[in-house]
Copies of this chain bind each other. A is one copy, B any other.
Amino acid sequence: MTRRITLSDVAEKAGVSRATASAVLSGKAGLGIRVSEDRKKAVLAAANALGYVPNTAAQHLKKGDDNHIIALFTYENIFPSDSGSEFYPFFQGIQQEAERENYDVLILNNWARDKSRSSRIRLASGAIMIGVNRDDSDIRALIRQDFPLVFVGRRDIGNSLPIHFVTFGYKEAVSRIVELLAPRANGRIVYISSTFSSAEPSADKSYYLHAEAEKRGIEVEDIVLCDMPSSREVGEVLSAEAVVFDRLFIADLFTPVFNARGIVPGRDIFGAILEDDWTGTHCEWTVWENRRPELGALAVRYLVALLSGEDMIPGEVRLPVIEKQSTHGF
């Protein structure tokens, strides 16, 4: 590999100083720095003849400015070869919005294997964090230094460090779902969540569910699964007039139970899942619409605002509720 052409090469060939060459090449000639037409032409000609391409890393190191790269960090694999990933829609929204804002995206998801982790993020001007938030001292160091980081989904990182995040408008969507269930709930909702997904979003959804139910005088019975549903837990669900699952996969745990008893969801049992049906396979339950790309895009806008020094408070992404589309008798 031959040595790369540098600014010095161009300056030498054009017979000017590096300062002059730099001014001409970066279009600064004219403002503040005046360069004669002859020298300007000489520099341009030399750059062209040599095939000069500036080293952006050096430019940004010197200028200390935004290099228009957004890192996208996740512990999960958003590009599985076989099927779709639940993180992919976020990525799509991020990529599109970044493109619109004229930022490039650096994908950093071989993270787990790497030693010098937080430093890879530092190559970008800021980062968007997707997926499960493991306890990670590198990330904490970044946050302490005010490195611009935006999390997709609300996060509590402890130590009362201020965290930037964007989130879905769970409150409105969950309230709407309770409103829809109320007429049939007969004063009682069974709410099934799981210790496997006890992160912040679930905490939020649970909170709003209880608040809205209380407002309507509906009693909420909480079931928190640690494992496959026990027979007692199955009994509770079957006895319910209205059932709410926290996640799609939790509803799926009950599919064999329903099948075994000839129970058809949407006909014999009625309820909702507090998630978008991104798999397109749960139309017998009330869910909300997939707004993942929109949330990804919002994260980008938030990050870009941070990078521009604006202290934007991002809005939430609204989640329109889709009522169960059953034709089975309701």
Residues of A within 8 A of B (CB): 1-2, 4-5, 51-61, 67, 69, 77, 79, 81, 92-93, 95-96, 98-100, 102-110, 113-114, 116, 118-120, 122-123, 138, 140-142, 144-148, 293, 309
Say how far A57's CB is from chain B's closest CB, in angstroms: 5
If A54-B116, A96-B79 touch, whether A146 touches B1 (CB-CB below 8 Å) is yes
* Residues from chain B with Cβ under 8 Å of A98 in the complex: 110
Q: Which of B59, B99, B108, B144 is the one whose CB lies under 8 Å from A109?
A: B99
> Could you jot down 30 A-B contacts, CB within 8 Å?
A2-B146, A4-B147, A51-B140, A51-B141, A52-B141, A53-B118, A53-B119, A53-B122, A53-B138, A53-B141, A53-B142, A53-B147, A54-B122, A55-B61, A55-B122, A56-B116, A56-B120, A57-B60, A57-B61, A57-B122, A57-B123, A61-B61, A67-B123, A69-B123, A81-B96, A81-B293, A98-B110, A104-B108, A104-B110, A104-B120
Say how far A198's CB is from chain B's closest CB, in angstroms: 28
Complex contact A95–B79 (CB within 8 A): yes
Closest to A140 in B: B51
Say how far A147's CB is from chain B's closest CB, in angstroms: 8
How many copies of this protein are present in the complex? 2
* Residues from chain B with Cβ under 8 Å of A105 in the complex: 106-107
* Residues from chain B with Cβ under 8 Å of A99 in the complex: 77, 109-110
If A99-B109, A293-B81 touch, whether A123 touches B1 (CB-CB below 8 Å) is no
Bound CA span A44–B147, Å: 21
Say how far A23's CB is from chain B's closest CB, in angstroms: 15
Closest to A2 in B: B146
Complex contact A5–B145 (CB within 8 A): yes
* Residues from chain B with Cβ under 8 Å of A55 in the complex: 61, 119, 122
Complex contact A145–B53 (CB within 8 A): yes
* Residues from chain B with Cβ under 8 Å of A102 in the complex: 110, 113-114
Complex contact B106–A79 (CB within 8 A): no
